[in-house]
């Protein structure tokens, strides 16, 4: 099963990001990694959390515009050129990466990158064919979530 | 023409007919509605003094507030057992305004709608899909009765449910669509987004009948291009009768008022003074034949202009300009008249962006700036910046093409636009002029 990303719409003004984080904190939701894409007026907060469905629900209850999307979590060697090689797979398949970000911690000595594609499945298949290890949802957030 | 005698009557003969009917209507209101009697007497006017059309200006105005204060039946001029139907406005800012119709009024209503349809080139051979809401709102039932009166095949679809609208359109062979102009744009958006294989050309759709909200020439062009139809404006207000007070003709350069049933004047909205023909101001209506709910000098707040011309369509009826907005909330931005209702229409064309928005007008140096803040809900939200930027860009483009203004679109979180008593504050004018 794919890794699920939780995204939220945040006005680019003091206090707004904090409000989202407070809702998640109050509900005991842990953020494993995150990134923010910002514009002048607003930002989009994208997170991998330990319980995305609950996170989505509690944000929604607080009238915070949010969504959940499937993303691709890829394990790559933490060595020069590894990311370059992975991207080469996408380039050859003509798959456009919408955006990407990294995990803060290594997993079994390897780096983990999150990729957002229009079509996750095609990208996934291309990587598996090349022998890459796709990180599953269960590997990140555990069972029963 | 549906009623050649009335629609092409020489102007002076029409004036005679109007005078005769006005005398009846004013007396009918005075005799049967205590509100009018009191109001006329307070103004020192008696129906017996009514001798010529010039005497109209001695009669006091009727306002929306008067109607609210008379909720629900206070302005009815016949006993309730003679009333066969009521319609009502939504009443978002107070009591709803309730209007009533006798059997005869329902007939007149159907007649003026049928005339409007013929004026758009529609005939009894057409299949008319009515996508106006059915219910207390006059749009659905008004068009429905008019369409039946004309003898066309009438499809009472009502509003919403776009996939079903399109399915019926295709399967039933709909040739005429009646809806709000913003809903027509919604349909076009829906096809583009969700049904790339649907070819509007493969339907029999040829005419669009649009009304119930102000819309611009820009919107007309866009609707005509995207739905491959001829789009016409039908105008009306429930306080007068509903849709069918006036309608465009093949010329599409104004709406002929059905003057044998409605008497129109243009006034200066600030002073109440009657303006000469051709000048722009607030249009005021007086019903000439209505039995259940006579309206004497009703201030519509709609801004337009009246003019007679030798119209190519052959109608001699006075023409009013397409209504651009209302006298109570007009904004002038860089010399362009803009009405919040128009901004609303533009936003309504984007699924998910209504209903909360705010317009902030400010002056930077010597130039006016308009910023439209739109609340982002889940329907339009995406985790991709490019999708969000496209949304702002598309809205801005639509403002430019429909209203001729460059607006900055700011996407904001839900619930951030201040609401007073539950209703959003639509316009913030920070200009100090």
CATH number of the domain within which B391 lies? 3.30.300.30
Give the residue from B327, B346, B374 where a domain finishes: B327
Residue range B18-47, pLDDT digits in tens:
999 999 999 999 999 999 999 999 999 999
Domain boundaries of chain A, sorted by first residue: 3-69, 71-140
B407 and B304, same domain (yes or no)? no
Q: Could you tell me which chain B residue has the CA closest to the CA of A70?
A: B383
B-chain residue closest to A63, CA distance: B414
Contacts with B334 (C-beta within 8 Å, 6 or more apart), sequence order: B367, B368, B405
| B350/B303 same-domain check | no
Cβ–Cβ of A65/B412 closer than 8 Å?
no
Chain A nearest-CA residue for B382: A67
B314 and B204 share a domain?
A: yes
pLDDT over threshold 60, residue A79: yes
Smallest Cα distance from B316 to chain A, Å? 54
**Phi/psi-derived region of residue A91, left when phi > 0, alpha when psi is between -120 and 50, beta in every other case:** alpha
**Collapsed DSSP state (helix, strand, coil) of residue A41:** coil
Helix, strand, coil shares of chain B as percentages rounded to 5?
Answer: 35, 25, 40
End-of-domain residue from the set B284, B311, B327: B327
Kindly report the nearest CA distance between residue B354 and chain A, in angstroms. Answer: 15
Instruction: Tell me: do B27 and B39 sit in the same domain.
Output: yes
Q: Do B381 and A37 touch (CB under 8 A)?
A: no
Chain B contacts of A66, Cβ < 8 Å?
378, 381
Is the reported ipTM for this assembly greater than 0.90? no
Axis-axis angle for helices B340-348, B385-403 (nearest 10): 130
The residues that bridge with A116 in the sheet, in sequence order, are A99
- Contacts B378 to A, Cβ<8 Å: 60, 65-67
Quote the tokens at residue B156. 């009472």
The correct answer on CATH 2.30.22.10 for the domain covering A3-69 is no
Q: In this complex, do A37 and B385 lie within 8 Å of one another by their Cβ atoms?
A: yes
Tens of pLDDT, residue by residue over B203-256, are 999 999 998 877 778 778 889 999 999 999 999 999 999 999 999 999 999 999
Q: Are A7 and A114 in contact (CB under 8 A)?
A: no
Q: Which two tokens stand for residue B280?
A: 């722009």
**What local confidence, expressed as pLDDT, does residue B222 receive?**
84
Q: Are residues B343 and B410 in the same domain?
A: yes
Say whether both B248 and B340 belong to one domain. Answer: no
- With an 8 Å Cβ cutoff, are B414 and A67 in contact? no
**Model pTM score:** 0.68
Chain B residues with a Cβ under 8 Å from any Cβ in chain A: 376-378, 381-386, 388-389, 410-416
Distance CA B303, CA A109 (A): 72
Regarding whether B302 and B337 lie in a shared domain, the answer is no
What's the rounded Cα separation, in Å, for the pair B24 and B261? Answer: 12
Do A3-69 and A71-140 share a fold? yes
Query: Among candidates B247, B288, B290, B283, which has minimal Cα distance to B121?
Result: B247
Of B386, B389, B413, which has the smallest distance from its Cβ to A9's Cβ? B413
In this prediction, residue B194 carries a pLDDT of: 84
Same domain, B189 and B336: no
Helix residue ranges per DSSP H, B50-91: 64-69
Q: How far apart are CA B113 and CA B116, in angstroms?
A: 5
- A43: closest chain B residue by CA: B385
- Could you give the CA distance from residue B175 to residue A58 in angstroms, rounded to a whole number? 48
- B190 and B227 belong to one structural domain: yes
Which of B286, B311, B327 is a domain's end point? B327
Which pLDDT belongs to residue A57? 96
Beta bridge partner(s), residue B125? none
Same domain, B152 and B99: yes
CA neighbor of B64 nearest in space, from B285, B320, B270, B325:
B285
CATH number at residue B103: 3.40.50.12780
Same domain? B308 vs B356: no
Residue A13: which pLDDT band, with cuts at 50, 70 and 90? very high
On whether both B421 and B287 belong to a single domain, the answer is no
CB count, 10 Å around CB of B346? 25
A132 and A86 Cβ atoms separated by less than 8 Å: yes
Distance from the Cα of A84 to chain B's closest Cα (Å) equals 23
Of B33, B107, B105, the closest CA to residue B76 belongs to B33
Q: List, for chain B, all residue ranges whose pLDDT scores fall below the cut of 70.
A: 90-95, 324-330, 335, 337, 351-356, 366, 418-425, 432-433
| pLDDT per residue as tens digits for the range A36-46 | 999 999 999 99
Return the CATH number of the domain spanning residue range A71-140.
3.30.2130.10
DSSP 8-state assignment for residue A95:
P
Domain count, chain B: 2
Domain enclosing residue B50, as ranges = 1-327
């Amino acid at each position: 099963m794919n890794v699920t990303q939780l995204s939220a719409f945040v006005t680019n003004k003091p206090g707004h990001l904090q409000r989202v984080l407070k809702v998640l904190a109050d509900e005991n939701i842990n953020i494993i990694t995150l990134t923010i894409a910002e514009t002048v007026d607003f930002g989009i907060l994208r997170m991998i959390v330990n319980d995305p469905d609950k996170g989505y629900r509690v944000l929604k209850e607080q009238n915070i515009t949010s969504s959940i999307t499937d993303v691709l979590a890829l394990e790559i060697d933490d060595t020069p050129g590894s990311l370059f090689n992975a991207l080469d797979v996408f380039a050859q398949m003509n798959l456009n990466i919408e955006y990407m970000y990294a995990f803060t911690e290594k997993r079994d000595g390897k780096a983990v990158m999150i990729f957002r594609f229009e079509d996750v499945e095609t990208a996934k298949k291309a990587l598996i064919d090349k022998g890459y290890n796709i990180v599953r949802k269960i590997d990140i957030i555990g069972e029963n979530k | 023409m549906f009623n050649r005698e009335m629609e092409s009557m020489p102007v002076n003969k029409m004036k005679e007919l109007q005078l005769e009917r006005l005398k009846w209507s004013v007396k009918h209101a005075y005799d049967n509605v205590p509100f009018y009697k009191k109001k006329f007497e307070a103004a020192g006017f008696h129906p017996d003094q009514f001798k010529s059309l010039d005497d109209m200006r001695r009669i006091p105005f009727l306002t929306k507030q008067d109607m609210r204060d008379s909720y629900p039946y206070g302005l009815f001029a016949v006993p309730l057992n003679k009333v066969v139907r009521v319609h009502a406005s939504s009443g978002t800012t107070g009591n709803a305004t309730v209007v009533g119709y006798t059997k005869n009024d329902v007939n007149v209503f159907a007649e003026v709608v049928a005339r409007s349809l013929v004026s758009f080139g529609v005939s009894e051979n057409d299949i008319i899909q009515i996508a106006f809401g059915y219910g207390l709102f006059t749009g659905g039932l008004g068009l429905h009765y008019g369409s039946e009166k004309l003898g066309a095949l009438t499809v009472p679809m009502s509003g919403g449910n776009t996939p079903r609208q399109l399915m019926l359109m295709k399967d039933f062979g709909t040739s005429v669509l009646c809806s709000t102009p913003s809903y027509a744009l919604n349909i076009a958006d829906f096809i583009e987004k969700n049904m790339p294989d649907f070819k509007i050309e493969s339907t029999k759709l040829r005419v669009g009948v649009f009304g119930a909200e102000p819309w611009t020439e820009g919107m007309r062009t866009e609707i005509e291009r995207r739905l491959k139809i001829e789009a016409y404006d039908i105008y009306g207000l429930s306080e007068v009768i509903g849709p069918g007070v006036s309608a465009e003709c093949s010329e599409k350069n104004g709406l002929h008022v059905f003057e044998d049933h409605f008497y129109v004047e243009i006034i200066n909205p600030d002073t109440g003074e009657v303006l000469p023909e051709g000048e722009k101001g607030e249009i005021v209506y007086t019903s000439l034949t209505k039995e259940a709910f006579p309206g004497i000098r009703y201030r519509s707040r709609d801004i337009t202009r009246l003019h007679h011309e030798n119209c190519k369509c052959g109608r001699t009826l006075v023409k009013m300009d397409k209504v651009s907005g209302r006298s109570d909330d007009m904004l002038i931005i860089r010399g362009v008249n803009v009405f919040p209702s128009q901004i609303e229409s533009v936003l309504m064309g984007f699924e998910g962006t209504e209903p909360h928005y705010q317009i902030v007008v400010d002056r930077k140096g010597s130039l006016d700036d308009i910023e439209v803040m739109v609340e982002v809900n889940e329907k339009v939200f995406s985790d991709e910046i490019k999708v969000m930027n496209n949304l702002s860009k598309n809205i801005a483009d639509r403002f430019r093409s429909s209203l001729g203004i460059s607006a900055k679109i700011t996407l904001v979180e839900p619930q951030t636009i201040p609401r007073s008593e539950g209703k959003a504050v639509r316009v913030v004018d920070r200009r100090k002029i």
